[in-house]
């Protein structure tokens, strides 16, 4: 499985299926064990991930690591990836400001995620935010309404929707941030408990 996944990752480096490849530094493919019981799907690589070529290595990734640990999930046993494999941004001076991928870009990238899923064979896919949920569930998802419960998936396994950790980073009020982090960990615990 590992070798097949490496071959798919190499093919994804040449992908030109949507315009996002051009301004980005590189394709950021998923990483982690295969097979794995848990697969985590985020939105797209951020500024640091684009430069490093690895998913979830920036501030949101560090927050995710902390939440996984609190929920009793070992990141080393989790396959981590994004719905969209190139960083979408708007240049602003020396900074690159994150931009949300369009539905067309999400759909264009679905085949890569499907190939990852087929090789990782997760029992549970944790969907971090609306883009990941749109990509896997193929419909618009209201996170607040659907978070924290297992949704059976066609082809086996289940999905669990929750927030993206970058949402927590944007909260300015400390109390609100604390409560949102606790709710995020509670969602992750549901996945942990379902695994037994």
Nearer to ligand SF4, 11 or 182 (CB): 11
Nearer to ligand SF4, 44 or 166 (CB): 44
Q: Which is nearer to ligand SF4, 17 or 137 (CB)?
A: 17
Q: At its nearest, how many Å lie between ligand SF4 and the CB of residue 90?
A: 16
**Are residues 163 and 42 in contact, defined by beta-carbon separation less than 8 angstroms?**
no
Closest approach, Cβ 41 to ligand SF4, in A, equals: 13
Give the end-to-end CA distance of the chain in Å, rounded to a whole number.
24
Beta carbon of residue 50, minimum distance to ligand SF4 (angstroms, whole number):
11
Quick one: 13 or 77, whose CB is closer to ligand SF4? 13
Nearer to ligand SF4 among residue 85 and residue 147 (C-beta)? 85
Closer CB to ligand SF4, 15 or 137, in the complex: 15
CB of 185 to ligand SF4, least distance (A): 30
We find the least distance from the C-beta atom of residue 96 to ligand SF4, in angstroms, to be 16
Enumerate binding residues for ligand SF4 (CB under 6 A): 12, 15-18, 20-21, 27, 84-86, 105, 108-109, 112
At a CB cut-off of 8 Å and minimum separation 6, what does 26 contact? 13, 50, 53
DSSP the chain: -HHHHHHHHHHHTT--SSGGGTTSSS----BS-SS-SEEEEES---HHHHHHTSTT-SHHHHHHHHHHHHHT--GGGEEEEESS-S--EEEETTEEEE-PPPHHHHHHHHHHHHHHHHHH--SEEEEESHHHHHHHHSS---HHHHBTSEEE-TTSSEEEEE--HHHHHH---HHHHHHHHHHHHHHHHHHHHHH-
Q: How far is the CB of 8 from ligand SF4 (least distance, A)?
A: 11
């Amino acid at each position: 499985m590992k070798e097949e996944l490496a071959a798919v990752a190499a093919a994804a480096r040449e992908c030109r299926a949507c315009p996002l490849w051009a301004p980005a530094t590189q394709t950021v493919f998923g990483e982690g064990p295969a097979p794995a019981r848990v697969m985590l799907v985020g939105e797209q690589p951020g500024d640091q991930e684009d430069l490093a070529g690895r998913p979830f290595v920036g501030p949101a990734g560090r927050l995710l690591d902390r939440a996984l640990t609190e929920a009793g999930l070992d990141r080393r046993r989790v396959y981590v990836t994004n719905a969209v494999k190139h960083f979408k941004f708007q240049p602003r001076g020396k900074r690159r400001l994150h931009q949300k991928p369009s539905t067309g870009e999400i759909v264009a990238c679905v085949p890569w995620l499907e190939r990852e899923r087929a090789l990782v064979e997760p029992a549970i896919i944790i969907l971090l935010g609306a883009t990941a949920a749109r990509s896997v569930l193929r419909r618009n998802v209201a996170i607040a309404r659907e978070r924290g419960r297992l949704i059976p998936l066609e082809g086996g396994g289940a999905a669990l929707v929750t927030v993206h950790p970058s949402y927590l980073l944007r909260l300015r009020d400390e109390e609100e941030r604390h409560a949102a982090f606790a709710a995020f960990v509670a969602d992750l615990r549901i996945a942990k408990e379902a695994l037994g």
